[in-house]
């Protein structure tokens, strides 16, 4: 076995059904006295219930999280942090809510408790992407890694099948890129393969029966492992493209990951034979095509054009992706990257 470095990260995880009831205990364990709940209107009922359970420890609710974590929204939330004297944050919702909680933590160093309601996985990572003036800037710092994550399978039962599918494929993307990260290690590789297997097994079952508790449990478990991968090793071309596309054209986050992943994997496939062999073990002989087929099976839009990206933006996206590239196993070639984005824009199969 080759030499490697593995760092374990101290995030406390509470996983199961009905676990949202543990939030007050986790607030007490962290010795917090006034926590601000950040969420979206779609999770308002859960946020209200948590606030009621917290009683006097709830400093207020900010329901204004939006995708891509705009700095302007964070600044609005920060005013409420100051007004309420909050000494902690409870984030209830998907990746957009987790992003806002992290942005607050970056500016205040307040402890975070995250209650995910989707399969984003970002709650396990020290990564924050913020958008300003049409560009998304990503950074990695332990200051934004949450202290506690409470996974409650019951909170995902109402997640629409289509959103479940794209959210789950977004999580798969974290695990896929972990397999060929330059700082990968055997532990993360095991987690990545387990995550991909769990999610690819669960997502079609959820589409068939959104109330399938076993499938929902598998999906949330896979999302957790994918998030550990995201938070432990570096990401590559796929994530850079998605951050660029999302920030530049205000595209929906999970849907963009779903459309781009098969093409990014196909681009890197010649340079990562070991990773492709592992993926073939869980996805079949053509992993990139299998992921494209999975997107179709869960009813996802596979064309960036259908997500709102203009064809005229292809060249700009390629330029921005190449401007500050992430480490990638295959050298980045402008013409090939443009061709990749063009296929994803059209929703064509990966090549």
Domains and CATH numbers, the chain: 12-156 (3.40.50.1970), 161-346 (1.20.1090.10)
HSE-CB of 218 using CA atoms within 13 angstroms: 19
What is the C-alpha to C-alpha distance for residues 269 and 293, in angstroms, rounded to an integer? 17
Strand partners, 130: 137
Q: What is the pLDDT of residues 326-342, one digit of tens each?
A: 999 999 999 999 999 99
Query: What are the C-alpha distances in Å from 245 to residues 262, 283, 307, 320?
Result: 16, 26, 11, 9
Summarize pLDDT for 234-290 with one digit per residue, the tens: 999 999 999 899 989 999 989 999 999 999 999 999 999 999 999 999 999 999 999
State pLDDT tens for residues 131-179: 988 788 889 999 999 999 999 999 999 999 999 999 999 999 999 999 9
pTM more than 0.85: yes
């Amino acid at each position: 076995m080759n030499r490697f470095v593995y760092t374990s990260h101290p995030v406390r995880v509470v996983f199961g059904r009905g676990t949202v009831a543990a939030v007050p205990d986790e607030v007490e364990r962290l010795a917090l006295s006034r926590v601000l709940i950040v969420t979206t209107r779609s999770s308002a009922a859960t946020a209200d219930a948590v606030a009621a359970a917290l009683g006097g420890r709830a400093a207020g609710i900010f329901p204004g999280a939006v995708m891509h974590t705009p700095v302007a929204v964070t600044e609005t939330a920060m005013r409420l942090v100051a007004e309420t004297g909050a000494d902690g944050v409870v984030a209830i919702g998907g990746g957009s809510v987790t992003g806002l909680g992290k942005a607050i933590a970056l500016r205040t160093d307040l402890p975070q408790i995250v209650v995910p309601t989707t399969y984003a996985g970002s709650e396990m990572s020290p990564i924050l992407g913020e958008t300003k003036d049409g560009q998304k800037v990503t950074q990695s710092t332990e200051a934004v890694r949450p202290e506690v994550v409470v996974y409650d399978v019951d909170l995902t039962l109402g997640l629409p099948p289509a959103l479940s599918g794209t959210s789950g494929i977004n999580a798969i993307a974290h695990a896929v890129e972990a397999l060929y990260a330059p700082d990968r290690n055997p532990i993360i590789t095991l987690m990545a393969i387990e995550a991909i297997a769990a999610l690819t097994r669960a997502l079609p079952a959820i589409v068939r029966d959104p109330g399938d508790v076993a499938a929902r449990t598998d999906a949330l478990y896979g999302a957790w492992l994918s998030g550990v991968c995201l938070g432990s090793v570096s990401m590559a071309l796929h994530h850079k493209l998605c951050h660029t596309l999302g920030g530049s054209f205000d595209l929906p986050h999970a849907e963009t990951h779903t459309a781009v992943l098969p093409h990014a994997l196909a681009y890197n496939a010649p340079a990562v034979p070991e990773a492709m062999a592992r993926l073939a073990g869980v996805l079949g002989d053509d992993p990139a095509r299998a992921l494209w087929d999975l997107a179709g099976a869960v009813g996802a839009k596979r064309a960036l054009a259908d997500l709102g990206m203009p064809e005229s933006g292809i060249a700009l996206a390629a330029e921005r992706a190449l401007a500050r590239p992430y480490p990638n196993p295959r050298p980045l070639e402008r013409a090939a990257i443009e061709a990749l984005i063009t296929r994803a824009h059209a929703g064509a199969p990966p090549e």
